[in-house]
Amino acid sequence: MSESSAALLQSRSSSARELIAFAVGKQEFCIDVMAVREIRGWTPATVLPHSQSYVRGVINLRGAVLPIMDLAVRLGFPPAEAMGRHVIIVVQVGSQVVGLLVDAVSDILTVTASEILPPPDVASDMAKHFVCGLLAMEGRMLSILSVDSVLPEREGTEVQ
Amino acid sequence: MAGNEMDSLRQIFFQECEEQLAELESGLLEIEGGGEDPEIVNAVFRAVHSIKGGAGAFALDELVRFAHVFETVLDEVRKGRLDPAGAVVEVLLRSADVLADLVRVARDGGSVDAERIRTGTEELASLSGTPVATGDLAEEDSVEDLGFTPVAVAFPTFDDIAAELPTEPEPTVFEYTVTFKPHASLYASANEPAVLLRELGRLGEMTVSCDTSSVPALSEIDPEGSYLAWMIELKTTQSEDDVRAVFEFVDGDCDLTITANNGAAPPVEDADFEALLRSIREAPVDVAAAADEPAIAEAVIADVSVTAPEFPVAVPDFAAKPDSAKSESKPDKAEKGDKSASGEAAQQTIRVDLDRVDRLMNLVGELVINQAMLSQRLGEAGLARSAEFATGLDEFEQLTRDIQEGVMAIRAQPVKSVFQRMPRLVREVAAATHKKVRLVTEGEGTEVDKTVIERLADPLTHMIRNAIDHGLEKPEDRIAAGKREEGLVKLSASHRSGRIVIDIADDGAGINRPRVRAIAEEKGLIPANAQLTDDEVDNLIFLPGFSTASTISDISGRGVGMDVVKRSIQALGGRVSITSRPGHGSTFTLSLPLTLAVLYGMVVTVADQTLVVPLTSIIETLKPKPGDIHGFGGEARVIALRNNFIPLVDVGRELGYRNHSTDPGAGVALLVESDGGAQSALLVDGIQGQRQVVIKSLEANYGRVPGIAAATILGDGRVALIVDVDAVVAGSRNGGNPESVLALAG
Amino acid sequence: MSKTILTVDDSRTMREMLLLALEDAGYHVLQAEDGIKGLEVLQDKRADVIITDINMPRLDGFGFIEHVRRDTSHRAVPILVLTTESDAEKKSRARSAGATGWIVKPFHPVKLVDAIRRVSG
């Protein structure tokens, strides 16, 4: 597709958002497709010393060092097991590229702002910190995650 | 297809069946035990579905029939319409056993009790909301499934088919008018009108006219829109259904009319058989037609090879003269019009976007990694020692290294650009402190990576200020001490064993050790009356929290101390040390890597992790003997080495890979020199080898990791971490992990 | 140069069957065992036609097609859905995900090659 047609397509659908849906444990989540760079299978990660429990380690993504966040742990579920069956969603926020470990990826949803419900006012930390909206689709409930919030807090920024 | 291919396919199928049956059983047991993960139900469904699919291909009808009923029930469970609780899961487990028996019978021969199958089928049928009429289903399925028999996997030869063909009378030719107007959705699903028209053309003779009347003005064209329509006159012996079949995939994505212009359509059955024959005949033709493509590909390659030689011409020039950033190079297109007149004799330069150089640098990094991977794979395959491979590999490695050096040379710049800023700084500081200072610089032509130079300016500025402010005495004191009134600050750069070394020397009073001690004690950095060598006292000035605005003058103060200098040098993979002689002056020495792109490292194993220790920090490796190790209070241990006791640092424990110290006798110790020349022994589990590694930033996508300097990618494609030796040693000194060092700094 | 076909199917039997039929017909074949692997293959390689199963772990056929259609470098690649389900609902879901056509399992090799030709010339 040419640049111009891409731009055209974009402007045409500016009111709609595209979201990638995926499963973590028994729940379904989605994130904005614009943040997603690619999707790939799990490969064993190199453990980072003294890292947060949700940081699985780093893997080689075509020559770049990609940190992997275990989204299950990040969202307060038990850690993921059986790694071969898992999926890494590579997301980019600003200049930072991070892999999110999830159970399975499913479809790409096109939604309009009016379909997105505000997150409920429940006490769970997950809802407060990470979920920025809810989506009801064919009897499914999907939580929309704000990608920025699930990324690790950058460490060592005090050093020049 | 040959019989043995068929056999191996069967073998694969039955192997897979075993895997799927195991998956099925373990999944069902998990469900029985209360497992609620939807992925388990999916996996169970897929297992049965897969068995059914394969069985269909081998015309294993009995298996297909049972699997189909089973699958229908599992689909209900999958869709949440059937709760797999209690009795239901028992039926499912029993059905899994029946399925397993059917698979084994299909493989080994024999038979399964017909009654068991019938009961099993009925049991399953009673579970699904819609009662399964087993008889009908079986009918329907087997008809479908027989469409593909094992024998048919092979393409029958033309002769086979021709022999089976009944001799037919001259076929009737029909004429159709086809109108075809694609919708935009047709293009969105990657269907292509041209392909469809070509397919249509295969059916007979056709004339095509294209209707362009709905194409709007250029400015109004929607690139994703659809504006063309076609009208086709087709003469063919095929039936209307065959013509329509061409458009099967685009049904609903286009306006399509097919009108027969004469006579009745031929009987469908005959035409089907013929269409089949034709498609068989034409399949190889199709592939042959595609054989035109290489010609195009070659033409493209030929184009490339004409321009390619220009590139190697330019690069060796850099490689040949790495000492000069102004290497000669052939006039380049990019430079045209820039310097063309004076270009003849003078050294020519081109301005290149730094991004391009960095991109090249990254690619070379990839090349180095790839080369390492290739050597490793050849080694694993036992080929690395064969003469041809060994020579080839050596040459490849040499070339890779040459290219790497060439690219690094492009980024290299003389330190002059930083040194040049210092005279003015010296004048300003001298004026502000009322001191007389002479600055001498040496080795300004020494080259180092541009990034290193850029990040050198701040620490250097700070150290020169420090040398004048604290190092040099006041003029009257100098005269009293019998020195020249004018103090000397010497800034020099040189290359030493693959690193750049920068000395900042003054001929002042040297470190005032009693005062440094007093400050350190006062600030609680050392215990009162600690036993310290002169060296250790001198190095106290690098401790975080040592210098503050209240203890030093405005000039060197500015809120930053030597600890910040030290850390910014460390961030560049460098070291800073100090030597001082009371009354004669002090020398600060910076040792930095020539590039931030690669380092030579020792690859070691620690607690099943692969780590890289920079070779520059390692003095020697030793195998500790049990008798050399001595406890030293708590978990601390030292190793006896040539009448010296050296702290033993358990890397695995320091980095948190394990909670307890490992047995030193089972590992290897790396004798390292850290800050200020203090020696430590790093205990690792084993050494894998030495190699050059490409440095990859961890901070770009993650952040700083305590005790880790950076990362790299090894020959096996996995990420390995590069140890920050100073931080690990410092961490062990603080009795905790390296984080405590950072905590102090904060 | 022969055309490259990417086959995505979690059943090894089906992958092998496709491999034999397609190689016999002169195609070059790439294989992937689920949607995720399929996307990984497409990161480095190009395919002239993609044949994909629907029921797969990690990322099913529908999702796989949607993801491929979003990728500017592969959005014009014809995708054939390979599935035992010939029911209209699956077909129409596949179509709205962006599938170009379909092949009903169990397939006859000739029909397979036919379908490929109908979407890629």
Cβ–Cβ under 8 Å, residues B727 and B738 = yes
* Average pLDDT over every residue of B728-733: 83
Cβ–Cβ under 8 Å, residues B489 and B426 = yes
d(C-alpha B393, C-alpha B372), whole Å: 10
Q: Assign A82 a pLDDT band (cuts: 50, 70, 90).
A: low
Indicate yes or no: CB of C40 within 8 angstroms of CB of A85.
Answer: no
Residue B19 or B561, more confident = B19
Tokens 């005090």 sit on residue: A158
User: Which range is least confidently modeled, B6-15, B290-299, B631-640?
Assistant: B290-299
Cross-strand partners of A131: A145
Cross-strand partners of B440: B490
Other CB atoms within 10 Å distance of the CB of residue B201: 15
pLDDT above 90 covers a percentage of chain B that reads 18
* Interface chains of chain A (3 or more CB pairs under 8 Å): B, C
Indicate yes or no: CB of B5 within 8 angstroms of CB of C20.
Answer: yes
Count, residues in chain C: 121
Indicate yes or no: CB of C66 within 8 angstroms of CB of A39.
Answer: no
A76 at B interface, C-beta within 8 A: no
Q: Assign A62 a pLDDT band (cuts: 50, 70, 90).
A: confident
Task: Give C64's contacts in chain B (Cβ within 8 Å).
Answer: none
Which CATH code fits B3-136? 1.20.120.160
* Cβ-proximal residues to C53 (8 Å cutoff; 6+ apart), any chain: C8, C9, C10, C11, C14, C61, C81, C82, C83
**Residue B706, min C-alpha distance to chain A (Å):** 7
Indicate yes or no: CB of B56 within 8 angstroms of CB of C86.
Answer: no
d(C-alpha B267, C-alpha B170), whole Å: 14
Task: Give C40's contacts in chain A (Cβ within 8 Å).
Answer: 40-41
pLDDT at B551: 42
Query: Judging by beta carbons within 10 Å of its beta carbon (0-12, 13-18, 19+), is residue A138 exposed, middle or buried?
Result: exposed
pLDDT at B687 over 60: yes
Report the run of H or E that residue B301 belongs to, with start and end: helix B293-307
Indicate yes or no: CB of A108 within 8 angstroms of CB of C67.
Answer: yes
The half-sphere exposure of A120 on its side-chain side, counting CA atoms within 13 A, is 8
Residue of C nearest to B149 (CA): C108
Indicate yes or no: CB of A26 within 8 angstroms of CB of B711.
Answer: no
Residue B643 or B555, more confident = B643
pLDDT at B2: 59
Cross-strand partners of B604: B611, B687
* Cβ-proximal residues to B521 (8 Å cutoff; 6+ apart), any chain: B527, B528
Q: Assign B636 a pLDDT band (cuts: 50, 70, 90).
A: confident
User: Which range is least confidently modeled, B542-556, B648-662, B718-732, C11-25?
Assistant: B542-556
Task: Give C67's contacts in chain A (Cβ within 8 Å).
Answer: 39, 105, 108
Q: Chain C, 10-49: which have a CB under 8 Å from a chain B CB?
A: 10-14, 16-17, 20-21, 24-27
* Interface chains of chain C (3 or more CB pairs under 8 Å): A, B
pLDDT at C77: 94
User: Which range is least confidently modeled, B19-23, B138-142, C28-32, C67-71?
Assistant: B138-142
pLDDT tens per residue, range B393-426: 888 888 888 888 888 888 888 899 899 889 888 9
Indicate yes or no: CB of A46 within 8 angstroms of CB of B609.
Answer: yes
Phi, psi of A67 (to 5 degrees): -75, 145
Tokens 């850029």 sit on residue: B454
Q: Which string of b and e fits B347-359 if b means at least 16 CB within 10 Å?
A: ebeeeeeeeeeee
Beta strands in B368-415 (DSSP E): 412-414
* Average pLDDT over every residue of B281-305: 39
pLDDT tens per residue, range B473-489: 999 999 999 999 999 99
Cβ–Cβ under 8 Å, residues B609 and B685 = no
The half-sphere exposure of A8 on its side-chain side, counting CA atoms within 13 A, is 12
d(C-alpha C99, C-alpha C111), whole Å: 17
pLDDT tens per residue, range C25-83: 999 999 999 999 999 999 888 999 999 999 898 999 999 999 999 888 888 899 999 87
Indicate yes or no: CB of B191 within 8 angstroms of CB of C101.
Answer: yes
- Residue type present at position A2: S
pLDDT at C86: 65
Indicate yes or no: CB of C59 within 8 angstroms of CB of A40.
Answer: no
Task: Check if the interface score ipTM surpasses 0.90.
Answer: no
User: Which range is least confidently modeled, B330-339, B630-639, C90-99?
Assistant: B330-339
Closest partner residue to B703 (CB to CB) among A47, A57, A152 is: A152
Indicate yes or no: CB of C84 within 8 angstroms of CB of B148.
Answer: no
Phi, psi of B604 (to 5 degrees): -125, 160
pLDDT at B309 over 70: no
**Residue C103, min C-alpha distance to chain B (Å):** 10
Indicate yes or no: CB of A41 within 8 angstroms of CB of C40.
Answer: yes
Which CATH code fits B598-745? 2.30.30.40
Binning chain A into helix, strand and coil, the percentages to the nearest 5 are: 20, 45, 35
Residue B625 or A38, more confident = A38
Indicate yes or no: CB of B283 within 8 angstroms of CB of C56.
Answer: no
Secondary structure of residue B583 in the 3-state scheme: coil
* Angle, CA of B41, A72 and A82, to the nearest 5°: 55
Chains A–B, number of C-beta pairs less than 8 Å apart: 121
Which CATH code fits B415-593? 3.30.565.10
**Residue C119, min C-alpha distance to chain B (Å):** 6
What DSSP assignment string belongs to B675-739? Answer: GGG-EEEEEESEEEEEEEEE-B-STTTT--BTTEEEEEE-TTS-EEEEE-HHHHHHHHHTTS-TH
Cross-strand partners of B449: B412
User: Which range is least confidently modeled, B74-78, B127-131, B541-545, C8-12?
Assistant: B127-131
Q: Assign A14 a pLDDT band (cuts: 50, 70, 90).
A: low
* Interface chains of chain B (3 or more CB pairs under 8 Å): A, C
Q: Give the C-side interface with A, CB within 8 Å.
A: 35-37, 39-40, 43, 57-60, 62-63, 66-67, 70, 72, 75, 97
Tally of structural domains, chain C: 1
Domain B174-262 coded CATH 3.30.70.240: yes
Task: Give B198's contacts in chain C (Cβ within 8 Å).
Answer: 121
pLDDT at A112 over 60: yes
Q: Chain A, 90-149: which have a CB under 8 Å from a chain B CB?
A: 95-98, 103-104
Residue C31, domain CATH: 3.40.50.2300
User: Which range is least confidently modeled, B95-104, B277-286, B542-551?
Assistant: B277-286
Q: Chain A, 24-63: which have a CB under 8 Å from a chain B CB?
A: 25-26, 44-51, 55, 57-60, 63
Cross-strand partners of B229: B211
d(C-alpha B502, C-alpha B516), whole Å: 24
Q: Assign B241 a pLDDT band (cuts: 50, 70, 90).
A: confident
* Average pLDDT over every residue of B504-521: 90
pLDDT at B137 over 80: no
Most B-contacting residue of A1, A86, A155, A158 (CB-CB within 10 A), to test interface: A155
Indicate yes or no: CB of A105 within 8 angstroms of CB of C75.
Answer: no
Residue A119 or B67, more confident = B67
Closest partner residue to B249 (CB to CB) among C2, C86, C100 is: C100
d(C-alpha C57, C-alpha A85), whole Å: 8
Indicate yes or no: CB of B39 within 8 angstroms of CB of A103.
Answer: yes
pLDDT at B14: 92
User: Which range is least confidently modeled, B154-163, B183-192, B349-358, B600-609?
Assistant: B154-163
The two three-digit tokens of residue B357, written as one number = 């150089």
Secondary structure of residue A123 in the 3-state scheme: coil
* Average pLDDT over every residue of B686-696: 86
Closest partner residue to B696 (CB to CB) among A2, A65, A104 is: A65
pLDDT at B292 over 90: no
Q: Assign B291 a pLDDT band (cuts: 50, 70, 90).
A: very low
The two three-digit tokens of residue B603, written as one number = 């690859």
* Cβ-proximal residues to B114 (8 Å cutoff; 6+ apart), any chain: none
Nearest in space to B25 (alpha carbons), one of B10, B39, B37, B40:
B40
Report the run of H or E that residue B57 belongs to, with start and end: helix B38-57
Indicate yes or no: CB of C70 within 8 angstroms of CB of A38.
Answer: no
Other CB atoms within 10 Å distance of the CB of residue C94: 24
Task: Give B242's contacts in chain C (Cβ within 8 Å).
Answer: none
Task: Considering only the C-alpha atoms of chain B, give the largest distance between any 2 of them, rounded to a whole number of Å.
Answer: 127
Tokens 């087709």 sit on residue: B234
Q: Assign B524 a pLDDT band (cuts: 50, 70, 90).
A: confident
Chains B–C, number of C-beta pairs less than 8 Å apart: 138
Other CB atoms within 10 Å distance of the CB of residue B237: 18
pLDDT at B420: 87
**Residue C13, min C-alpha distance to chain A (Å):** 20
Binning chain C into helix, strand and coil, the percentages to the nearest 5 are: 45, 20, 35
Most A-contacting residue of C66, C69, C71 (CB-CB within 10 A), to test interface: C66
**Residue A99, min C-alpha distance to chain B (Å):** 10
Indicate yes or no: CB of B50 within 8 angstroms of CB of C119.
Answer: no
Structural domain harbouring C51: 4-120
Mean pLDDT estimate for chain B: 77
pLDDT at B272 over 80: no
Residue of B nearest to A96 (CA): B701
